[in-house]
Amino acid sequence: MQLSSQSLRHQQPIPEEFAFCQPGPDSPCVLSANRNPDLSWRDAPPGTRSFALICVDPDVPSVATDVNQSDREIADALPRVDFVHWLMANIPSDVTHIEVGACSDGITARGKAAPSGPKGSVQGRNDYTAWFAGGPEMDGLYLGYDGPCPPFNDAKVHRYFFRLFALDVAQLDLPRGFGMAELLRAMQGHVIAETALYGIYTVNLRLRRSATSYKDVCVEFLHIRILALAQALTEFRPVSSSGHLVLASLFLGWDYQGLAFDLRSTFRHLAWRC
């Protein structure tokens, strides 16, 4: 199964159109267009009866004390936690595409009460619900997609993973406003395939001005996964090139059939970093 998008390129910066915030002309951060990117998928396995979708940022600071403070920067080394941006379940098995802006086209204060989506699908609670809790103007239940808005003073470029699951059931029994933990529990034992892609985003002007820094986060992440892959190849010793690619897909998080890069050239490119 393969996931693709015309809106964003795998491992590349996400356009501001699909973000919740962006750098402003006179301030470090202003609201953005907050449109959902398009997503397309194919090659779902036989037996697929529905799909589920998760978009999550695993790079959110675990401590919020220094968030968006102009006199300091959040250290890259600070432990990070997940921030959910989009949950969708019960996507019919005959759906293979979500259009740009079909599920989110702008920011809705206090959250979208009934976000649009494929017929029959349900959308869960994203983590802006907790972030804005208690705020006089933004407090509410945020359902569906709301895009990236990392702290403008974060030294880490954030990654946004779009994960698509093929399930062997037509519907999951989920409450209104379900969260990621509830979705994962409901999917347990029903996932027959998964595919993913991710983009990166930062509002930190220092990082945005440095093309090398903005790109290096991808290289560094790939470097870590390549080292894990090398260890696995040493331990498991697959006997065929296809075996190597299958193992690579497991460690790199990409679909085997869609693995569109040469591992040898990747090793050559990263050799200077090892």
Q: What is the pLDDT of residue 210?
A: 76
Task: Centre a 10 Å sphere on the Cβ of residue 71 and count the other Cβ atoms it contains.
Answer: 6
The structural domains of the chain, with segments of one domain joined by +, span 2-204, 219-273
Write down the residue that tokens 């293979």 correspond to. 96
Report the CATH fold assignment for 2-204. Answer: Phosphatidylethanolamine-binding Protein (3.90.280)
Those residues of the chain that have pLDDT short of 50 are 236-274
Q: Give the model's pLDDT for residue 265.
A: 35
Closest CA to 132 of 152, 112, 159, 104: 112
What is the structure's pLDDT at 209?
84
